[in-house]
Structure 1
Amino acid sequence: MEPIVLIDLDRCVGCYMCQRACALAQCIEINEFTRFAEVVRPEDCTGCMACERACPYNCIIVLSDESQVPIRAKITLSRVRRYASKRLVTATPKLTVKAGAEIMVKEGVGSLLIPDGVPKIITETDVLEAWVNGKESEPILNFSREAITIEGKTTVDEALRIMLEKGIGHLPVLEKGKLAGMISLRDILRASTVSSPINGGEIIPINPRELVGSYAIDVPILGKVTNMGAYSVLKQRGLKATVVKEGDRVGLISIRDLTKALALGRSLGDFIEPRFVTPVSSKDPIFKAIAIMSEHNLRHLPVLQEDTIKMISVKEIAKHVTWIQVKSIR
């Protein structure tokens, strides 16, 4: 049965004891206007009865099947709202594409939200497409599209399914119809290491000791090429980044680097300025690669595998998440 929380308002004095006791689910709060306790997120109630036990005035009764508390706790811990960034980077509809690129580079984000009625989004890929077509001085609204959004109460396994199905790396998060945050593939990978989401299926966390080589993919290796040349390769191969090798140095060129070139006023005919990073070995454990990517805010890493250089990406890691069908408990 679904947990039912009964609150006797004639006894409630707004002492906050129930709110403090509901530390995991955070589903019960004291209303700042009425000063009474209320259940604000019933979908997150685990039925643990902590609020009932904490209430000094015996004004709360919880009806639930206590045997289901552990499973409900897993669901509660897998909500998108727990892992989404509350930081939203927005732009006005009349902002130019180049100015939008400048904001992306300054804020270190891969997309901008345009909260003009129905939320719209413009990504680094959209910005670069405008650039190569000589339209970087036009309003970003012309290159935006309606954002695919997700409710904060949705579980991360559903968010991952949508991202992989739609081929996107970010989802704006809504709370009661309003923009409240953004969740990325990296956020979901972080979530999969600390929770076991259930939504008709369960995400099995990545084995941190799996080898990097299991996730590495073959990509073109570029030398000294122009921004336009690099963009053409990435677009043709459907990649967000690829490997660059100059002498003994190994690095990456990504759509983020090309967006930075636009923001700095460089031309498509200028040579690329790759980021040279220390590759990981294909024999390294995957947790090492994920740690490096998180620490340096990277979405890709070059991988040394015998005599070749491959690449690992957040998207490829996400694709390897294992799914098991289980009975869903709501």
Structure 2
Amino acid sequence: MKTVADLLKLKAQHHQQVHTIGPDQMVLDALKLMAEKNIGALPVVEDGAVVGIISERDYARKVVLQGRSSVGTPVSAIMSAKVITVDPHKQVDACMNIMTDSHLRHLPVVEDGQLLGLLSIGDLVKEAIAEQADLIRQLEQYIRGE
């Protein structure tokens, strides 16, 4: 089973970088960045540390439904401040369990207080499928005596 570090290396090879936003920036800025980069969430970073995460879900529930303005509302007002993170040594299946149990779609990867990357549920599912396909291929070869 691969680790989070392995997945981050694969993402880096595909030039996928982590986009962040500051807590004092406006929600509109976060929305523009998410739309431009075609992503669903942004880690909120202050002085190099993850202090929150803002997602499209936060916007829908805390701005649209509450009648706030995305122009005058700072990210800190709607971000999820209780952020669950993982370190790069965690295995993929453990991350899937964390995300499933906590109803998360994005999981920041942090080591020594610094943001290293961001995993989506899609990243983890893709890896789990690849690992299962490899196991099936190995079992088929074993059965055929190869």
TM range (shorter): 0.7 to 0.9
Structure-1 residue corresponding to 2:139:
none
Q: Does 1:140 align with 2:72?
A: no
- Counterpart of 1:194 in structure 2 is 130
Higher strand share: 1
Find 1:96's aligned residue among 10, 18, 26: 26
- 1:123 is aligned to 55
Cα distance in 1 between the residues matched to 2:28 and 2:102: 26
1:73-92 equivalence runs, <5 A: 75=1, 78-84=2-8, 85-86=11-12, 87-92=17-22
Structure-2 separation of matches of 1:119 and 1:181 = 14
- Counterpart CA distance in 2 for 1:192 and 1:125 is 25
Q: Does the residue aligned with 2:130 lie in a helix, a strand or coil? A: coil
Contact 1:173 1:182 in 2 (8 A): yes
SS at match of 1:83: helix
Q: Distance in 1 between matches of 2:85 and 2:111?
A: 11
Q: How does 1:142-221 map to 2 (within 5 A)?
A: 142-144=77-79, 145-195=81-131, 205=132
Overall identity of the aligned pairs, in %: 25
Relative CO higher for 1 or 2, CA cutoff 8 Å, sep ≥ 6? 2
Whichever residue aligns with residue 152 of structure 1, its letter is P
Gap runs ≥5 in structure 2: 134-146
Q: 1:171 to 1:90 in 2, by over 3 A?
A: same
Question: RMSD between aligned alpha carbons?
Answer: 2.0
The residue number in structure 1 matching 2:136 is none
User: How many Å apart are 1:177 and its aligned residue?
Assistant: 3.1
Q: CA offsets, 1:186-217, max 9 Å, x none?
A: 1112211333xxxxxxxxx37xxxxxxxxxxx
Structure 1 residues 1-330: aligned runs within 5 Å: 75=1, 78-84=2-8, 85-86=11-12, 87-116=17-46, 117-129=49-61, 130-135=63-68, 136=70, 137-144=72-79, 145-195=81-131, 205=132
Query: Which aligned runs of 4 or more in structure 1 are off by greater than 3 angstroms?
Result: none
Contact 1:118/1:146, CA 8 A, preserved across alignment: no
User: Which is greater in Rg?
Assistant: 1
Measure, in 2, the Cα distance between the counterparts of 1:103 and 1:134: 22
CA contact (8 A) 2:25 2:75 kept: yes
Counterpart Cα distance in 2 of 1:134 and 1:176: 38
Task: Give the letter aligned to residue 107 of structure 1.
Answer: K
Structure 1 residue runs without a partner (length 5+): 1-74, 196-204, 207-330
Shift of 1:96: 1.4
